[in-house]
Structure 1
């Protein structure tokens, strides 16, 4: 029981670290460089950071448990920080772009349309397809609270799948004698 408490504490601590990283990214991006929200590579980088924090939590938990950790404990140690960190970050995003400054969400959407147009023009996408893509972006409410919550749940599915694989790799059974 004490070991579970230790792994939970580790997960919570890493969750707070992840929440801090993601919140700083959102706040600093909002304040200084909103263009960052339309860069595709940034979200790939954030995915890597999020998964790495989960892995670090699982590895540290295994170390605390003397090198022996079950699949269940490994997955829990991986997943707790991801849930905490991404949930807090999502709530901060909702607060900034729906309460504090909804106009920023509009500006980012407008820039997203420009970036999409430039990209599609480079690849000679037919105008009809470009118009459809732009209409889809205009109709989307990417920063809306409901969209953010749905996206959070969707991302949890991705992190669960990754976590299952990570847990299979990190777990370590007690040796059979």
Structure 2
């Protein structure tokens, strides 16, 4: 009798693949133009993640015989996102702390510039004092520390849960039952 893979084992494999793909893309972006990390272009990486979890989820459902409950689909999706997120966070910390320790300053400057451009477009460029601007920039810099990355991952867990609910609903397929 063939044993079926548990949602955890399937998610571990899929999460590792997704995390490594994410790392490769992130490092390619770093080598091309590191300031892209501070742009909305990175939303494409989020969309790619969404699509890949669906592909992996449909593949897992097929392995299970074409049917999967919502609970198992949610578990699979959530665990896949968590594992990929941990791998991504470790890769980002390596980038910020070991490979290029000057990168957080570059990204914080870029984020500050982007924020100022947005404020200018709304006519609010003079609305902030120098102290407020310095505080905002320090907040951007703090996001690239270990603590900042862990805090962001904590918030990401909430987002992962919401996304996993959506993905679980898409991936699930009830086994047809005959009613007499």
TM-score normalised by the chain length of structure 1: 0.86
The alignment's C-alpha RMSD in Å is 2.2
2:25 equivalent in structure 1: 25
Asked if 2 retains the 8 angstrom alpha-carbon contact of 1:22 and 1:86, the reply is: no
- Tell me, which stretches of 5 or more residues in structure 2 are unaligned? none
1:152 aligns with 2:135: no
1:83 aligns with 2:79: no
Q: 1:136 to 1:45 in 2, by over 3 A?
A: farther
Normalized per residue, the structure richer in helix is: 1
Q: 1:85 and 1:45 mapped to 2: Cα distance?
A: 16
Cα deviation, 1:41-82, whole Å, max 9, x if unaligned, reads: 32x222212222222222111111111111221112222321
Q: 1:35 and 1:126 mapped to 2: Cα distance?
A: 22
Q: 1:165 and 1:110 mapped to 2: Cα distance?
A: 35
How far 1:33 moved relative to its partner? 0.6
1:45 aligns with 2:35: no
Q: How does 1:14-163 map to 2 (within 5 A)?
A: 14-42=14-42, 44-129=43-128, 134-140=133-139, 141-163=142-164
Q: 2:58 and 2:130 mapped to 1: Cα distance?
A: 48
Q: Which moved more, 1:45-54 or 1:122-131?
A: 122-131
Cα deviation, 1:93-139, whole Å, max 9, x if unaligned, reads: 11211233221111111122122212211221151247576334312
Q: 2:85 and 2:177 mapped to 1: Cα distance?
A: 38
Q: 1:2 to 1:76 in 2, by over 3 A?
A: farther
TM-score normalised by the chain length of structure 2: 0.85
Q: 1:39 to 1:126 in 2, by over 3 A?
A: closer
Q: How many residues align?
A: 175
Q: 1:66 to 1:90 in 2, by over 3 A?
A: same
